A = this chain, B = another copy of it.
Amino acid sequence: MPHIAYAAASESFTRLYRYQHLAALAGWDQATMMPGKGNAARSAAMAELEVLMHHTLTAPDLHVALNAADNEALSEAERASLREMRRVWQNANLLPARLVEAQSLAGSRCEHAWRTQRKGNDWQGFLQNFREVVALAREEAQLLADASGKSRYDALMDKYEPGMNSQEVERIFGDLKSWLPGLIRQVMDKQENEKAIVAQGSFPVEAQRALGMQIMGVLGFDFDAGRLDVSVHPFCGGVAEDVRITTRYREDDFVQSMMGIVHETGHARYEQALPRELVHLPVGQARSMGIHESQSLAFEMQLGRSPAFLQLISPLVRQHLGDQSAFTAANLARLYSRVRPGYIRVDADELTYPCHVILRFEIERALIEGDIEPEDIPALWDEKMMAYLGVDTRGNYRDGCLQDIHWTDGSFGYFPSYTLGAMYAAQYFASIRQQYPDLDARIAAGDLSPVFDWLDANIWSQASRWETGELVQRATGEALNPAHFRAHLMARYL
């Protein structure tokens, strides 16, 4: 007997995938290409598309099909597909169309204004749009929480990292807070005596771009199925068949931009390697945001900042940016492992990065749970930046609470994914090293296949076939174990 209901549900999700294609393109273009006066029309079009996607997911026919499919004799793979369709369905069906449209409009407006407001250090201006974004996010959180029995914040986090909850995150982050600040101080003391040579001179955007593209090539990025462009906040967008990554360039510094490209290429390869025959269905798409970040961080932190990889690309750096003593493999490794507390999360080193995430997690959880209001953010930000990193951010909103795009469009609950991703990535590499004891030598010699093959077999090709916990268990033989992250940091930095 054919699986009529399963096929009907799949057809709805295929249509949804095509709408998501348009939404991804519209968002990418808005951030990379669109001139300012196009924004009102763009926002209206994107909000209309959100409503349409919401209608697609809330159509009574789809509900009927999903329920009927439950009683069909599905294969194990089809059952996994149905599970993932149902997850998407549930998140959408708890939200009224009015709320979805309002969130899209408010998010677009806030994000667009933020691009100017951030430059102008204009927290008060930002607050005017941001209050509505928060109010709508709380409304969403309440609706999701009422249905799931989770707390409001957990209900939002579940959209990005299903299966995780804030108690578990708090436990993991609490453990981190117990040893990470000490480790940061210890490493900073050690690095006092290791002088890294800072590269001199101006690095033309075109040269940096050419270097970035060549490194993307080394990392296996498929340029027939993707692009590299520029945006204020680097991201990986587009669709699996056409992945659009972005970076930003500073002519006085190539360090961040180059590694940013490595990071986004990690996201991109995950997308480019998702199983083509299933990518139009949720089961064929990325597992979660934490797993997505684990790919970018496997590329950036585990691979990209390793001495072996820097040895591999040191000649490329010299080729594009000129020959300097700063560009030796050893010095690049010092530059890319230098620990220095700073304002900006995306520019943070591997060791201080989790502090930026913990701070945001604590603030956004309190904000969504209603324990604080938007206007309380700067004071809390200042206090926590001082406590965790010893950095003074008072009055500096631009490099403080206005620095990230996430809150501007209401993506609360996303931040923990970064540090969970860093931990997953450390765990993967522990497995890869076990399987390939000569890993570093192979990387330095330009053979990255151990990394790509392992990730492809264990993560990329698996898409959303398994729940996150099972995916990690199958890949590494154990559940998420933060000890690998700590061991990695100790090995690299002490």
Contact = CB atoms under 8 A, between A and B. Distances in A.
A33 B42 CA distance: 18
Interface string A199-227: 00000000000000000000000111111
A369 interface: no
Contacts of A226: 35
Interface stretch (A44-52, A395-403, A466-474): A44-52
Contacts of A42: 21, 241-242
A483 interface: no
Contact of A18 (B35, B45, B222, B240): B45
Given A29-B25, A29-B29, A52-B52, A225 B18 contact: no
Chief secondary structure at chain A's binding surface? helix
B36 A19 contact: no
Interface residues of A, number: 33
Contact of A38 (B19, B40, B52, B225): B225
Copies of this chain, count: 2
Contacts of A239: 38, 41
A242 B26 contact: no
A119 interface: no
A104 to B, nearest CB: 12
Which of A40, A223, A225 has the most B CB atoms < 10 Å from its CB?
A225
B227 A37 contact: no
Interface string A34-67: 1111101110110011001000000000000000
17 contacts: A18-B45, A18-B49, A19-B48, A21-B42, A22-B26, A25-B26, A33-B227, A35-B223, A35-B242, A37-B222, A37-B224, A38-B225, A38-B239, A38-B242, A41-B242, A42-B241, A42-B242
Shortest Cβ-Cβ A-B pairs, 6 listed = A38-B242, A21-B45, A37-B225, A18-B48, A41-B241, A18-B45
